[in-house]
Amino acid sequence: MTCANVYASVACSRVMLCAPASVRTFGDIGEMCMGKAGRFLVVSSQMAVCLLGPCVFLVLGGTLLSSMFANTFPQVTWLIIMVISVLPVCLTPTLKEGDGAAFAGCAGTVVADIIGIVVLLSGMQGHPSVPAPEFRIEQVLGAFGNFSLAFSAGVLISALQRQHSDPTKMPRIIFVTMTFISCLFLTLSVLAYSTVGCQISGNLLFSIFPDSKTGLAVLGFKADRGVAILAYLGMQLHITIAFAVFLHPAFYTLERLIIGMHLQSVYVDIEGERVQNPAVTTNRLVGKRVIQTDDSVLSSALVIDSLLPTTHTRKNLLNIDTLV
């Protein structure tokens, strides 16, 4: 599954590089390959991931907050507070402008997982060997569901490539990044499984958080509450940033369909290398290729270093010179 996700992500990036400049989203790729039906299928699946993923983050964030602040508000109240807290983060116009926040969210989840593994390894020292797992369909579906959530960031490839200053580097960046992330997932799963086996709960952090009354974790060892809260805070930071990042393609699509933003009225004919504008008919050769700017400045821009007259125009100029 990891290899399939890495290969598919790199393939999508290469397709966007080969596609015309008017192809800017996964929906555009679907329409280019399969027409309107392809756009409908691609946009439906992408919007499902972009909208259902944040719902999972909201539930997880509400659970973390209710655990950190026990005996205060019910989980539903913390869920509402979580929704209000992520609204300002969602106002970031582009992913490029939120790169610092995205890095902070990445660092938060890495710190949270490291703390969780260290607490789990130290707490389970001296325990008997882990029991053999009992494979059930629920466990298999849950494992693949977690993998799907982990690799669902692939829906952001089109947005990242659209805003990158040099899109030709994106396939290599995607391959290295997703391979590194897969290695982190593998390390995390091996360490957790070698320690507690199938006894671990659905989330690593839930297994290390102590009960407010007994002071014991779910697995029976005594865990430091302050360290567990520190891990929870790191994951809370990650959830808040990831919520806004996953919604970005949905916002872009809605702005394009409803408001009419991000429509590319000028594009490049690859075969003839001519600038074509639906509003104004022109025939000018392009001296250099397209350089896309940030969406916060222009939804699409063409930077043309040299505009040369066409052959027909040159002949007219020569005839005029001859007459003179």
Q: Token pair of 149, please?
A: 């959530």
CA dist 259 and 253 (Å) reads 10
255 and 300 in a single domain? The answer is no
Domain boundary among 207, 238, 259: 259
Report percent pLDDT > 90 for the chain.
Answer: 11
pLDDT tier, 202 (very low <50, low <70, confident <90, very high otherwise): low
Q: Quick one: angle between helices 225-254 and 75-86, nearest 10?
A: 50
205 and 302 in a single domain? The answer is no
In 3D, which of 200, 225, 82, 187 has the Cα closest to residue 142? 200
Three state DSSP letters for 201-235:
CCCHHHHHCCCCCCCECCCCCECCHHHHHHHHHHH
| Distance from the Cα of residue 315 to its chain's centroid | 53
82 and 136 in a single domain? The answer is yes
Q: What is the mean pLDDT of residues 60-72?
A: 87
DSSP 31-61: HHHHHHHHHHHHHHHHHHHHHHHHHHHHHHH
Residue 232 lies in domain: 2-259
How many residues are listed for the chain in this entry?
324
286 and 181 in a single domain? The answer is no
95 and 199 in a single domain? The answer is yes
> Would the pLDDT of 243 be above 80?
yes
What pLDDT was estimated at residue 134?
A: 67
What pLDDT was estimated at residue 200?
A: 67
Q: What is the mean pLDDT of residues 193-198?
A: 71
> Would the pLDDT of 79 be above 80?
yes
Report percent pLDDT > 70 for the chain.
Answer: 75
pLDDT tier, 278 (very low <50, low <70, confident <90, very high otherwise): very low
CA dist 300 and 80 (Å) reads 37
> Would the pLDDT of 309 be above 70?
no
| Distance from the Cα of residue 10 to its chain's centroid | 14
Coil vs helix vs strand at 67: helix
168 and 277 in a single domain? The answer is no
140 and 18 in a single domain? The answer is yes
> Would the pLDDT of 302 be above 70?
no
pLDDT tier, 229 (very low <50, low <70, confident <90, very high otherwise): very high
CA dist 19 and 157 (Å) reads 14
pLDDT tier, 263 (very low <50, low <70, confident <90, very high otherwise): low
pLDDT tier, 272 (very low <50, low <70, confident <90, very high otherwise): very low
- Look at the block and give the residue holding tokens 């958080």: 209
> Would the pLDDT of 285 be above 70?
no
What pLDDT was estimated at residue 132?
A: 65
What pLDDT was estimated at residue 287?
A: 40
Q: Token pair of 292, please?
A: 């896309």
174 and 196 in a single domain? The answer is yes
- Look at the block and give the residue holding tokens 């709960």: 201
CA dist 316 and 151 (Å) reads 59
- Number of structural domains in the chain: 2
244 and 271 in a single domain? The answer is no
Domain boundary among 206, 235, 259: 259
What pLDDT was estimated at residue 232?
A: 93
DSSP 69-134: TTTTS-HHHHHHHHHHHHTTGGG-S-TTTTHHHHHHHHHHHHHHHHHHHHHHHHHTTTPPPPPPP-
- Per DSSP bridges, beta strands 267-269 and 307-308 are unpaired
285 and 209 in a single domain? The answer is no
187 and 303 in a single domain? The answer is no
63 and 181 in a single domain? The answer is yes
Q: What is the mean pLDDT of residues 116-131?
A: 77
CA dist 47 and 152 (Å) reads 12
Q: Token pair of 31, please?
A: 């329409």
Domain boundary among 229, 259, 289: 259
Q: What is the mean pLDDT of residues 153-171?
A: 85
Number of Cβ atoms within 10 Å of the Cβ of 121 = 14
| Distance from the Cα of residue 321 to its chain's centroid | 59
Q: Return mean pLDDT, the chain.
A: 76
What pLDDT was estimated at residue 198?
A: 63
